[in-house]
Amino acid sequence: MNSKIKDIEIFELGSKGKEASSPWSSTILIVRITSNDGTVGYGEAPTTFSTMSVREAMNEVKRSFAEKDFFRIEKNVADFYRDSFYLSKSFQHTAALSAFEIASWDMIGKELGSPVYNLIGGRVHDNLRAYANGWYSGCRTPDDFVTKAKKVLSLGFTAMKFDPFGSAFDSISTVQLNNAESIVSALRGQFGDSIDLLIECHGRFSLNAAERVARVMEKYSPMFIEEPLHPELESSLQVLRSRSKVPIALGERLLNKSDFARVISENLVDIIQPDLTNSLGILEGKKIAAIAESFGLPVAFHNAFGPVQTAATICVDVTLKNFLIQESFEPFWPAWKGRLLSDGYKLESGFLRPSHKNGIGVTIDEKVLEDSVVEGMETYSPDEPPWVVSDTFKTEDGR
């Protein structure tokens, strides 16, 4: 066995035509690493309106990982941490490094003839409850949401996440809050307690606005509200939690285990949502989950990009005693994403089921990968932020 890295290739993937998905997800970045004996591993980095800067950061990681022993994950990550002065504060660098870390695990599993989950503790779960996201593009009115939610339930999901706040940002008007409530009320009224509602705030509110939102949402018993406050208002989370009974979830903008240790130990959050593709990958994900477990908190990984990310996340999910639920965009992806894997994990009747193949458990369709290569930045509209689900940033009255 020769475990040295020989070749590293970086691919930007997207749609060459009109993009159907939301801008943050209209491109993904894939790294393909090949060892001296021909073992191939894949990793994924998110873009989130930063495609070009993340891609350049991946080139920096490439220089660091070239010719290294891919089994030495802790050392290779530590070496890049030493060299990257702003790593702990740079989404671009943690995203880039995460892709290489995931690809390294993919190669290790293939070399050892084992699924990655068996190398990090083994399966606690065989099936993972999933919640749908990305399903509500074009929804603005309660009827819009109810109509599309019926399709979500027909796919077997029993939980769905959505952002009902239209164009509200920082503050929220009474009209906007009433519209958001009418959407949530309609969904709860239509489907009762047969579904879990997960309320996405996208980190957009001041403390006063978030408190108003949380108090209104309480009566509809959501599983959680996600990122209710602007991320720089982290210290106000404790105040918000003292004024509302709605569980608060967050984590996609936290970049390492130290970030999570801080918000968990300071009692700022109820449910954590790390993202393996920007918080240093699989091994760090296990460490973050262990910190949460020691404080009695559940984990619901953020997962909004592509199938390599999902496969890697599932490898961690199935090993966690404190797993809660897993985000899934699969039925609402653009076609090219759905075709990228020729074999791998399954989404069936609202549950994600791990692949039992070696590595992270996927087979990439190389033709689809090559045909999906694009250059440049994500799509952009001055009328709608890139972080929302497409065509949802206005309420019925246009506000």
Q: Which domains does the chain have, with CATH numbers?
A: 5-114 (3.30.390.10), 118-371 (3.20.20.120)
Question: Which pLDDT belongs to residue 2?
Answer: 82
The model's confidence at residue 240, banded by pLDDT at 50, 70 and 90, is very high
**Cβ neighbours, 10 Å, residue 28:** 25
Q: Which residues contact 137 (CB under 8 A, 6 or more apart)?
A: 22, 332, 389, 390, 391, 392
Render pLDDT for 186-215 as a digit per residue (tens, 0 to 9): 999 999 999 999 999 999 999 999 999 999
Render pLDDT for 66-100 as a digit per residue (tens, 0 to 9): 999 999 999 999 999 999 999 999 999 999 999 99
Average pLDDT over every residue of 26-43: 96
Q: What is the mean pLDDT of the chain?
A: 95
Task: Round to whole Å and give the CA distance between 8 and 66.
Answer: 7
pTM: 0.97
Residue 125 falls in the annotated catalytic set: no
Question: Which pLDDT belongs to residue 18?
Answer: 60
Q: Cα 169 from chain centroid?
A: 22
SS3 content of the chain, % helix, strand, coil (to 5): 40, 20, 40
Task: Round to whole Å and give the CA distance between 142 and 223.
Answer: 20
Q: Kindly compute the dihedral angle of the four CA atoms of residues 152, 154, 159, 163, in this order, to the nearest 10 degrees.
A: 20
Catalytic residue among 93, 230, 302, 356: 302
Whether residue 19 is predicted with pLDDT greater than 70 in this model: the reply is: no
The full DSSP string for 293-356 is HHTT--B-----S-HHHHHHHHHHHTT-TTB--EEE-GGGS-HHHHHSEEE--EEETTEEE---
Question: Which pLDDT belongs to residue 382?
Answer: 85
Whether residue 137 is predicted with pLDDT greater than 80 in this model: the reply is: yes
Amino acid at 353: R
Question: Which residue is it, tokens 């994500």?
Answer: 378
Average pLDDT over every residue of 44-57: 94
Average pLDDT over every residue of 21-44: 92
The Cα-based distances of 82 to 59, 75, 269 in angstroms read 17, 10, 30
Whether residue 21 is predicted with pLDDT greater than 70 in this model: the reply is: no
Whether residue 15 is predicted with pLDDT greater than 60 in this model: the reply is: yes
Contact (CB, 8 A) for 196 and 300: no
For the chain, give the percent of residues with pLDDT over 70.
97
DSSP assignment letter at 158: S
What angle is formed at CA 18 by the lines to CA 53 and CA 369, rounded to 5 degrees?
60
Nearest of 244, 215, 399, 378 to residue 305 by alpha carbon? 378
Residue 302 falls in the annotated catalytic set: yes
Q: Kindly compute the dihedral angle of the four CA atoms of residues 234, 298, 75, 51, in this order, to the nearest 10 degrees.
A: -60
Task: Round to whole Å and give the CA distance between 247 and 236.
Answer: 15
Beta bridge partners of 169: 171
| Listed ranges 23-37, 170-184, 368-382; the one with the highest mean pLDDT | 170-184
* Count of residues making up the chain: 399
Whether residue 399 is predicted with pLDDT greater than 60 in this model: the reply is: no
Amino acid at 109: G
Average pLDDT over every residue of 128-136: 97
Radius of gyration of the chain (CA): 20
Whether residue 398 is predicted with pLDDT greater than 70 in this model: the reply is: no
Whether residue 162 is predicted with pLDDT greater than 60 in this model: the reply is: yes
Question: Which pLDDT belongs to residue 300?
Answer: 98
Question: Which pLDDT belongs to residue 381?
Answer: 83
